[in-house]
Homo-oligomer: A and B are copies of this chain.
């Protein structure tokens, strides 16, 4: 296999799976390469360090999640309906992960924030950028809902941050209890945090 871009993708993919199972710190380069099925020598051809690999894993994961979030939050539906879809997709994604891996792995960005953010500034800044982007996407939807007088918050940015914080907190519990039911209250809690006037938005059926 060796030094092909295919090998690079295999290393990133193996590292992501291992990080989701066990976190970053306990992983070694040899184990990552073994899981990826590539010779150990090829690692440093693609990645200057384990930290550079962590950044690549974060970028790859965010590229996929950003596409998913954009598809949902920029769609044509009613604003609050789109937020509900986001929670439903999050819950079904965690459930699918639990079915395939046996445990709820939680949010990769939340996991790495609590494990790594006080250790490497490059990772901290990348994770800040991602959470800022998430908050901005949610903020846009809340602003639309505010223009339609469906919510009563005054500071849409802070409200968006609180909605994402609620998501991260409940995902933490879903991981700890290995139970995705902890994600069920997200929609009602989001409405409460937004002072929503329209709590009876129909289910999307996802």
Contact = CB atoms under 8 A, between A and B. Distances in A.
A169 B164 contact: yes
A42 interface: no
B165 A22 contact: no
Contact of A162 (B22, B127, B128, B166): B166
The number of times this chain is found in the oligomer is: 2
A172 interface: yes
Interface in A160-206: 161-162, 164-170, 172-173, 175-178, 182, 185, 189, 192-193, 195
Given A114-B106, A166-B162, A169-B164, A23 B175 contact: no
A62 to B, nearest CB: 15
B185 A162 contact: yes
B118 A175 contact: yes
Interface string A109-140: 01101111111000010011001000000000
Contact of A127 (B23, B25, B176): B176
Interface of A: 21-26, 103, 105-106, 110-111, 113-119, 124, 127-128, 131, 158, 161-162, 164-170, 172-173, 175-178, 182, 185, 189, 192-193, 195
B23 A176 contact: no
By secondary structure, the A interface counts as: helix
Contacts of A119: 22-23, 26
Nearest to A102: B118
Contacts of A195: 192
A114 B115 contact: yes
A165 to B, nearest CB: 3
